[in-house]
Amino acid sequence: MRILKCLPMLLLSTTVQAETLRLNVENAEQSRSPDTARDVIDVKLDPKSRKALADFTRTRVGRQIHLFVDGHLLTSPTLQSVIDTGSLRLSAGEEGFGGKTAGEVAKTLNKGGPLTLTDER
């Protein structure tokens, strides 16, 4: 009986809260992937965002995250490892770059457009 009373507390304590993370971009550039010959966006984050991204990804390896630029979903990768370099290479998702070109997205990011990640869609 005592175990049944504790079960709800145990379940609640192991639940991971959904989180949305806004990242500050120092620089974003359109380039071409040497592996796929497709357009990509190379993003460099500021130091504060670099740490925040490392903390965010550290607890989500193996889980799917969703990346948005200016409110448009770009991609939903499954994290393979912690991202602690402060640099990202964004490739288009199934629907491209949210209806924009890689160059347009890079310009949006360079003008301070929001780059957000979430673990809930």
Domain ranges of the chain: 17-118
Q: pLDDT tens digit string along 8-35? A: 444 444 445 678 999 999 999 999 999 9
Name residues whose C-beta falls within 8 Å of residue 20's C-beta, 6 or more positions apart in sequence.
Answer: 116, 117, 118, 120
d(CA 95, CA 53): 24
Distance CA 90, CA 76 (A): 11
pLDDT at 11: 44
The yes/no answer on whether domain 17-118 falls in CATH 3.30.1360.120 is: no
Mean of all residue pLDDT scores within the chain: 85
- Which pTM was predicted? 0.78
List, in sequence order, every residue forming a beta bridge with 61; answer none if it has no partner: none
Q: Alpha helix locations (H) across 18-113?
A: 47-58, 102-110
The residue that leads in pLDDT, 50 or 71, is 50
Compute φ and ψ for 40, nearest 5 degrees.
-135, 170
**Paired residues of 90 in beta bridges:** 41
pLDDT over 90, % of the chain? 61
- pLDDT at site 9: 46
Question: Is the pLDDT reported for residue 70 higher than 90?
Answer: no
Residue 10: predicted pLDDT: 44
